[in-house]
Amino acid sequence: MIAEPRCCPYCGTKFSPSIFHPNQRTCSKPDCRRRWRKDYHRRKYHADAEYRLVCLDSNQKWRAQNGGYQRRYRQDHPAYVDKNRTDQKRRDHRRRVQDLVKNNLALDLKSINGGVWLVGPELGDLVKNNLAISELMIFQSLAASGGSPA
């Protein structure tokens, strides 16, 4: 008996399941199989405590046998180190901007005689914000604040 053709959830192509694996859910393309294994591992890891312990133990054994691997890799791949450093700065900056989303802390800029301009590619992330990070620092004079100099 030949099974009905199915649609692969990853690439969308039609395939006929193997006669040896009638419950086959993906086509036999390497990328689709790789994604299926990855998804299976993720589901199993979160659902099965014993499987999770086996995975953690396996990672610990590998680290014990390959001490200093990261240090050696970074020494052998300086281009990777530079790219990672640049990418991390960009990720940190993006995280700081995203933390501003729906922030209600506000500085009253109406009382300042001047214009405020927000310029930059991250402005789309500042939707519904009242706080903006800039390279400008505003100091209030001591005479205006009514305080005495320290």
- pLDDT per position as a tens digit, 99-112: 766 565 555 555 55
Q: Helix, strand or coil for residue 7?
A: strand
Q: What pTM did the predictor assign?
A: 0.49
Q: What is the pLDDT of residues 28-41, one digit of tens each?
A: 999 999 999 999 99
b/e sequence 38-48, b meaning 16+ C-beta within 10 Å: eeeeeeeeeee
Q: Which amino acid is at 45?
A: Y
CA–centroid distance for 20 within its chain: 39
The answer on pLDDT for 17 being more than 50 is yes
Say what percent of the chain tops pLDDT 70.
64
* Domain positions in the chain: 76-103
